[in-house]
Each structure stands twice: as C-alpha cells, then as structure tokens.
Structure 1
Amino acid sequence: MLSAAVVLMYQDYAYANVLAKHEAVVSVNKDLAYRSWVASHGGVYVPITDKTLPNTYLSHIKNRDVNTSASQQLTLMNPAYTLSQMMKDYSELYGTKGHITSRILMNPKNKPDSWEEKALEDVEITREAVYEKAIIDSEEYFRYLSPLVTEKSCLKCHAFQGYKIGDIRGGVSVSIPMKKFYEEAFSHSVVNASVIIIIYLLGLGVIFYGRRKTREILEDKIKDYEQHIFSLVNIIETRDSYTAGHTQRVAKYSVLIAKEMGFNEEKVDDMYRACMLHDIGKISTPDSILLKPGKLNALEYEIIKEHVVVSYELLSNVDIYKEIAEIVRHHHEHYDGSGYPQGLKGDEIPILSQIMTVADAFDAMTTNRIYKPRKSVKEAIKELNALSSKQFSTQIVNAATIALEDIEIEMSITQRPKSKIERERFAYFYKDQVTGIYNKEYLEFVLAYNHSDEFDMKYASGVYLHSFNQYNKKYGWAEGDKLLKKFAKILDGSGRNDLVFRIYGDDFVILNKQQIEIESYISNLEEVLIDTGITITYRHFDMREKDIKNIHDLEELL
C-alpha cells in the first residue's frame, strides 16, 4: 500500500509536468495563431494612445501612421509588436510569462535570456520545440520555446536583417509557473493518500479479523487434535496401568525445572507438550513386555528402548509436533553418553531433553516399583545429585534441587495393582504355565511388599515332592505335568490357603495370614500320589519370628 501511495504521488507530480507542458503548447500555439493572423494582414492599425505608441522600429515603413479623421490617428502594429503587447497583458493577468526572442535583434526588449539563448541554438539545429523546467526569480517554471519560421509576410519588416523564407528567425517562449500544478498534484495526492489509508485500514481490519478467526479455528483444531493425542496417551497408560499418571507427573516436574532455569513461556509450553507425548511410542511395544511387572531380560529391554524412536517417528510426521519430536527422541540419553538411542553426551543432547530425563528419573524414584519401594523427595534429590555430571547435567540437577524440594508426592502412586482386575492382569505374568498357580517371581514380589497392608502374610509352609524325576522317566513329561497340575489344584483348592506358589519343578510354598494345621489336609495330597512312587515332606514356620524379607531368606529355611 505504501508503494502504491508513492507511485500515485509520483504519477501525480509527473502528470503536473504533462499539464504544464500542455498549457505551454496551447499558449504558444495561441500566440502563433494570433501572430499568423496579424502577419497575414500585413499588420494591424490601432489608435495611438499612451499605452500604444508608434513602433520606432517601423519608422522606415511608409504610411506607418495614418489619419482617419481630424481627431483620430492610427499606427501600424507589426505581428511581433502586437504579440509582445498581448503577452505583457496576459502575464499581468495570469502569471504566464511570454516572450518573443531572436538571436538577431530588431528590438532590444526581445533579447534572449541564458535559457532562451541555449534553446535558440538547439532550435536552429533541430527545428523542434525545446522545453524543460527552470528557476526564474527563485520560482520553478515550465519553459517552452517554439521556433519562428520566416514566412513571406515576415520579410516586409525583417528583410533588411537578411532573413530568407524558411529561416529560423527566433522563437516564441512561454514560462508557466509550476506552483499551481504542484498544488493541484498535492491536493490530488492527499485525496489518493486518504483513499489508500482508508482502504489500508479497512484491509488491515479484514486481515486482523481473518487472522484472528483463522487462529481461533486453527487453535480449536489443534486443541481437538491434541485432545485426541492425549486421549491416545491415556489409553496407553490405561494399557499399562502400573504407570498411570506418569506423563502428567513428568510434565509437571519438567515445567517446574524449566521455569527455574528461566526458559520463556514458549519453551515451557514445548516442554509440557513433549512430556505429555514422550511415551506415545509405547503403543508399538508388545503387551508381554510393556505389562510385564518384573525385570526385563536383555532382549526385552532392547525392544522397549525402541519406543523413543517410534515416538520420534510418529511426532515428526505431524507438523505441529515436529519441533518437540527431537526433544522426545533424546529423553533417555545420559550426560556421560551411556544412554540411548544415539549415545549422545553433554551438550549434544537437547537441553529440554535433559530436563525431561531428570524429571523422568525423579518420578521413577518417588514411585513404588515392583521390587523397589519409593524414595522420599529428599532421598530422590540426593540420588539425582549423586548422578550429577554422570547420568544428568549438573546445571539441571541444581535447578531440580530447588524446583522440586518442596514438591508433594501423592502417597498412592505405585506400580502395584489396586483393583481386582489389575491384580488379575498383574498375576497373569506370575502364573506357572503348567499348574496355573503362582510362580517364583510372584513369591519374590509378595515377600518384598509383605510389610504392607496389601499382603501381610504371617505364616509360610513348604511342601516338597520326592522321586518325581523317576515318575517322569517312567510315564513321560506329559503325564508328569498332569500329575503336577492335579496336585497343585488340590493344594490351592483347600480353601484355607491365601497364596500358593510353585517355586521349582516339584517344590511348593504356601503363605497364610492365619496359622493353619497343614497336617490336616496333607492326607488329601497323599491320595493323589498313591502308586506313583512319589513322597511328600513339608515344613511350617512363623515368618515374623524368622524375619523373612526376601526369597533368599525363605530358601535358607526351606
């Protein structure tokens, strides 16, 4: 719009020159037409007055002055003298300066000024009109000089100067003041500028309104899209019920650390969104690994590490998440280069990724894990500092120490199952495939948390089968498995046992909250083993007295 205004202003002032030239041409043509008319009549006779005196330069002409009556005397006015007189009157009335000039003078008043002198030289060569803008008495004028060509009628007065027909005898010069044209151009420019400003303001209003509406629509779409994405994250967390709320907590901790480090609102927002989506790649992790509550083996660990790459690929293909995809990709890198997926170290790791790494670790430390009870905030911060410059950036750990020191951890946060359904899903990984009762890994878990109200088992019994290998050799593994399954079913179905575990091939453990007389139903188990050659032995003891805290303690007793 500004360019348009400048162009229009330039055109207005350029057009002022066109108008001035047009007026100059019209003025000169009018003068030449009048002169031609006078010349065609050999001059005109006018009354002699104080304003119109006889032309002294025509004194050589007979009958220059004539008497028409006793009271009136006329004098001959030649074309040049008549035109000069008219130009003088016109200049006084309208400001347009007219001048008849020549390089061979008959009247000194017709002497050319410096511009006219140069213009006459050009005219004699080109026989074309000359024009340009020039300054006269500190005012700008448009100057125009048209050549005077000698005609037969001109020789009556100018033959003695040596002119011949067709010679350039001089020129008619006119000077048009530019002020009025510039004023008109300025007025026109003001009108144009006003129109442009109005259009510009209206355009701005439309643009701002359109941008605001577009932004609102885009924000709504992004909000809806993110709600769908966050819903997907919630589905993943529901799928992995033992880490429910993990992303929200990591986002909360990361934002606090980022603000402590002085990041602006835009970066803090990137931090939050990256945290909310940092585990989205777990959608590709098999349930058998993702939901496994126990420790992962080497292969399983390699598979679950792929979730960061999947997260990156998913997010980098969405325009609104391209910037945060790189943050998510490296949130498992370690400051010393021992992390994954690329083994970056130090400042090679994006700073927001480093913040998320600290927040992620802090949440893991302050959450009850399967084999590891949660730490207090103070203990977690102490461990972060112990790993400073190794797993974590010292700068970020220092910020986290300040940002998280007063954080309140929800006591109910745990990886352990709470509902009946969660327990069943949980136990799915801890069921013995042959007998259907619990396995050794679940016994280890129960012993680790036996101090809580969730289990609180007080008594343990060990049941051992002897000579089972001979039975397998005689009847085959399939028959052996059937016998084990039948035995375990009776052992688990007595109705008095809280938890029954198969810990080795043919050894079993029973945990009870109430003391039982195991001898009272051993006879039922012995009936299953009649004619098999298999015998039973058992032991029973109080877990509190023996201070059993893990499976190693139990194995020593059994």
Structure 2
Amino acid sequence: MSVSKRIKYFKQLAILLTIFWTLLTTCFVIYQFYNEEKHIEESSLEKIKGVAEQSVAFIYWAYEQKANALNDEQKYTIRSNFSLKELLAVLAKHNDMELDISSSTKTLNLSPSALDTVLKVKERKEDGYIVFEKTGEKHLFYVKPMLASSACISCHVHHEYTVGSLMGYTTLQMKVPTFKEANPQTFYFLIVTYLGTWLLGLFAIWWIHARGRDYLNEKTKMYEESMYALVDMMEKRDSYTAGHSQRVAEYAKMIVLAMDYSSDEADFIYKAGMLHDIGKIEIPDAILLKPDKLTEVEYSLIKRHVTASYELLSREPFTLLAEVVLSHHERYDGGGYPHGLKAEQIPFFSQIIAVADAFDAMTTNRAYRKSLSREAALAVLNEERGRQFHPLIVDVAQEIFIKAILPENTTQMPKDLLEEMRFSYSFRDQLTGFYNVNYLKFIFNHAQDYQLKVFQMDHLNCTDFAVYNKKHGWKKGDELLCLIAKTISTIYPDAIIVRVHSDNFLVLHVNENEPIDYAKIDRLMREHDLVMQYQHVTFGIDEALSVETLEDKLLHL
C-alpha cells in the first residue's frame, strides 16, 4: 500500500473512530439520562403513592371519628356539612399535586388514557397510574380505590355498601420534574463530565492520527530526499542527464494536463519524469559519457538502467512510480525493453514518459550527433505513431510541443575540470595523457558548442618507429612517444595535441598566425636516429570542421 493510501486510510480510520466514539459517548449519555429520568419518575410515583395512601387513611379515620360522634340524623347530612375533600386538596397542593375524591358512580371528566386507568382500578380494585405528556411536559396520574370498611358502612350514608365494596376513587395528578429541574447540580456535572470525556477521546484519536501521519510524511520526505539526492549526484556526474530529466518531467506534465488529468496525477508524472533515468547511477562513466555511438554490449548495459531504476524506486513511497519508470522504454508495437510489452499492456503514464523522453533526446545536442529541429522531431514522432508511441499521446504531444520552449545550448561538453576528467575515459590517450582520435571527432562535431576555432593544423608522422620498437623494446618506444608529446606541448602550450595511429600526432592551433617551429622535435628525433615528417593544413575563417574535410586536405598535400 502506497504512503498516500496509508495516510488516506488512517484518516478514514480516524473519522470512523470519531463517529464510533461520538455514538458510544452519546449512548452512555442517553442511557445515564434515561436512568435518571426513570429514577425521578419512580421517586415521583412513590411520593404520589404515599400522599394517596395518607389521604385515604385520613378519610377513613375522619369518617370513623365523625360517625361515632354524630347521631343518625347528622350522619345523613355528612356530605353537606363535611369539608374533608377541600382540606385534602389543599394538603395535596402543598406537594404540587392535584387531588380529587370521586364516587364510583360519578362520571369522571378525564382523558381517554386516564379513564382507561380508572376502569382498570375499578375492575381490579388495586392502585393504578399512568404517565402521560401534556403540553410538552410529563405528568403522573395516580388512582387510589376507596374500598368500604366497617367504619364506612356503619354510617347511614354508605348503608348500601358492604365491606370491600368500591365506594369511589382518590385521584392525584402531578407534573413529573425533569432531571434538570429535580437535580440541576448533578445534571450539569454529568453534562460537563461526558463532554470532557468526549473531547478527550477525540483529542486522543486525532493526536494518534497526526503522529502516524507525521511519521509517514517524515518517512516519505526522507526517502524522497534520498532519491533526489541521487538525482543531484547524477546531475553532478552528468549535467545533461539531469537537465534531460527535468525537461522530460515538464513535457510529461504538460501532456497529462492537456489530457484533463488531475493536478495530483500531473505531480505524479512529474516525479516519474524526474526519476525515470535514476538507474543510470549504476552505469559506468566510460559508457554513460561515451561521446560516440554505443556498441551492442554497451547498449545492453545501458538498457539495464530501467531495471536499476525500478529496484531503486520499488520501496515506499515510490512503488507506483517504479512501475511507470520500468516501462518507459517499451514500444507500442512490442519491440521495446525490458519485457517487450505491447499497446495497452504498457502503463499509460509510461507511454507518456516515452514520448517526452524521445522528443527531448531529439531536440538536444548529444556527444555523437547534433540536435534535430522542432519540426524534424515532431515529424519523427508522427512517423513512429502507432509503432513506437501511442497514437493518442502523439496527437496531444504534437499540439503541446509545437508551442513548447526548447532548451538552448544543450551539450554534453565538459563544463568543469571534474567533467573533463570523466571525459578522459573516452578522449584521453592512455599512454601520453593527451587527446585521442575520438576527441578529434568530438570537437569537430561540436566546434560551435565548444566555441572552438582552429586556424591551422600540423600532422607529425614519426617514420620507422616500428624499427625503433623492435630494436629498443616497447617500453622504450612508449617512453619516447610520451617525450615527443610533452615536447610538442612545451612548444605550443595552447594547442590541442592529438595522438593518432600509434606514432602520429596532430597539432591543432587555436591561435591565429602562430609560427611553426619544430626544431626541438627534430633534435629529439636525431638523438634517437629517427625522422619526423610534417604536413601543414590551414583552414578558412568560415570553413566548417569535419574529419572528412581534414582527411581530404591531408590526401591532397
């Protein structure tokens, strides 16, 4: 799993944990508040039940006391002169309740649910209650049956009842206080406690997420820095390759944006372009910086750079880039490397990198050839459409590259002493330390890039040097060749000295009207019984330099 996907996964996990923690905390809050509300409801029920029992007991006691104190005539008028109901109602009001005493034969003006409770009490002769909502508030309706006792039936008022008969009801109604009303301190304490617990949990979840994200980002940053350090190292090793990678990255990004891909995908292919040749870090300088066309064996080693790039990028966070880089030298017709993939088998972004890579290679100078013009490069892309390159990508690239700003003065010429020393693998004669014939070809091909002007040239040919080697041995012969080259350099310190064909030297004069004087060389030759032959060639001011021109001039001397 890529680092970006891991970060996205961790974020999704943090969101899920946040939702879960919020739901869990909410459930605990609801459960706690529900229990508190139930407890308050039960307390209210116990309270109203106690008041009902006290009221009924008080009624029984009052009737008994009055019945014992009154004569028969007074007993019949007890309903009119006895204000017990009003007294109990006042007492109930002190407990925030509404009390009513009704006969069992009286039609009660109650809600359907309250009437249903009364009917159940009438049927079972047991206490009953109901909790109901009224104007958004919870109320408790309690019914206490009044059963006839021996004291009740002793009064002529209730002569038609027997002991245990239902005479009426004591009904009580009260508002059930909310948790906040009943116990405000506990209510706010729980609110603060659960809110603090919830916030603490959220902090823990997102703190862990942030630490994990920062760890992955830091790990990614360190690995990216190591990869870009390799790119920087490659730039110092071969400035052309680094500039080439940057241009390929920019071209590829332009193509991707023109094809309506997202900015993230454009950034992705830009990174792929920057790192597509990173495997060249493993290629020896002698091959990577060779100024001539590669041999078959050398080319097979160069092709190794795609697998080397893949191996370097196969770790996080570059695993997806590794797949793109691995296939950027595959051909649409299946003739590419390393796996010979064809058409849609090749990752699409790899095919974009391939087009950008080819266009930049064609429009920049290389050691072994001149750059092509924009029109010529686009013609090659169009010619290879459907063969080397994806047709759709070529069509988009044509529109992009026709307006793209091409680099100027791109060259693989050495820019400093370090690059000069690296070039020595191909350009320096291993015996004398001066230039070889490869360098001669190189500077003739890049005289304009090198801002080099050769006014005249001397060809020095040491005759019968094979006889000297046979007589004195190869070691002595090598020592004499080195001495000849060193003597030439003392005579013409600004000249370019090239050793060709074992015992031949070319001296290229870069100073105009430089006098020709090889007296020191002639004395050296006489000391060793040898003869040096000289040929002198001059070049016109605007004459183009080439190996063919030089050979032609030497043949006609």
- Contiguous gaps of at least 5 residues in structure 1: 47-57, 68-72
Q: SS of 1:43's equivalent?
A: helix
Structure 1 residues 389 and 154: CA distance shift in structure 2, 3 A: farther
Contact residue 13 and residue 182 of structure 1 kept, 8 A:
no
- 2:294 aligned with 1:273, yes or no? no
- Name the aligned partner's letter for residue 356 of structure 2: A
Q: Name the TM-score, length of structure 2 as normaliser.
A: 0.70
Alignment of 1:240-319 (within 5 A): 240-243=238-241, 245-319=243-317
Structure 1 residues 235 and 299: CA distance shift in structure 2, 3 A: same
- 2:436 aligned with 1:433, yes or no? no
**How much has 1:270 moved relative to structure 2?**
2.6
Return the alpha-carbon distance in structure 2 between the equivalents of residues 30 and 285 of structure 1: 100
**How much has 1:339 moved relative to structure 2?**
3.6
Return the alpha-carbon distance in structure 2 between the equivalents of residues 490 and 267 of structure 1: 62
Contact residue 501 and residue 510 of structure 1 kept, 8 A:
yes
- 2:364 aligned with 1:367, yes or no? yes
Contact residue 332 and residue 342 of structure 2 kept, 8 A:
yes
- Contiguous gaps of at least 5 residues in structure 2: 1-18
Which residue of structure 2 lines up, in the alignment, with residue 392 of structure 1? 389
Return the alpha-carbon distance in structure 2 between the equivalents of residues 493 and 295 of structure 1: 34
Structure 1 residues 421 and 163: CA distance shift in structure 2, 3 A: same
1:444-478 Cα deviation digits (max 9, x unpaired):
21232346663333545544456655655565544
Which residue of structure 2 lines up, in the alignment, with residue 53 of structure 1? none
Q: SS of 1:408's equivalent?
A: coil
Alignment of 1:149-168 (within 5 A): none
Contact residue 237 and residue 419 of structure 2 kept, 8 A:
no
- 2:526 aligned with 1:523, yes or no? no
Between stretches 484-493 and 407-416, larger displacement belongs to: 484-493
- 2:64 aligned with 1:39, yes or no? no
Contact residue 24 and residue 176 of structure 1 kept, 8 A:
no
Alignment of 1:180-259 (within 5 A): 181=178, 230=228, 232-243=230-241, 245-259=243-257
Contact residue 88 and residue 98 of structure 1 kept, 8 A:
no
Q: Which of these residues, 110, 113, 117, is aligned with residue 115 of structure 1?
A: 117
- 2:47 aligned with 1:26, yes or no? yes
- Name the aligned partner's letter for residue 454 of structure 1: Q
Return the alpha-carbon distance in structure 2 between the equivalents of residues 396 and 301 of structure 1: 27
1:201-249 Cα deviation digits (max 9, x unpaired):
9999999x999x9999999998898677645533321222344533333
Q: SS of 1:511's equivalent?
A: strand
Q: SS of 1:360's equivalent?
A: helix
1:38-97 Cα deviation digits (max 9, x unpaired):
435762429xxxxxxxxxxx9xx9945549xxxxx97389x9x96798469958996746
Q: Which of these residues, 440, 451, 456, is aligned with residue 454 of structure 1?
A: 451
**How much has 1:253 moved relative to structure 2?**
2.7
The size of the alignment, in residue pairs, is 521
Structure 1 residues 339 and 525: CA distance shift in structure 2, 3 A: farther
Q: SS of 1:334's equivalent?
A: coil
Return the alpha-carbon distance in structure 2 between the equivalents of residues 470 and 64 of structure 1: 172
Contact residue 282 and residue 305 of structure 2 kept, 8 A:
yes
Structure 1 residues 371 and 293: CA distance shift in structure 2, 3 A: closer
Structure 1 residues 10 and 169: CA distance shift in structure 2, 3 A: farther
Q: Which of these residues, 413, 416, 429, is aligned with residue 416 of structure 1?
A: 413
Q: SS of 1:45's equivalent?
A: helix
Q: SS of 1:500's equivalent?
A: strand
1:105-157 Cα deviation digits (max 9, x unpaired):
6x556999433444666x68xx8x66554589999754555688998767868
- Name the aligned partner's letter for residue 479 of structure 2: K
- 2:78 aligned with 1:75, yes or no? yes
1:169-211 Cα deviation digits (max 9, x unpaired):
9986655556x759969x99x989998999899999999x999
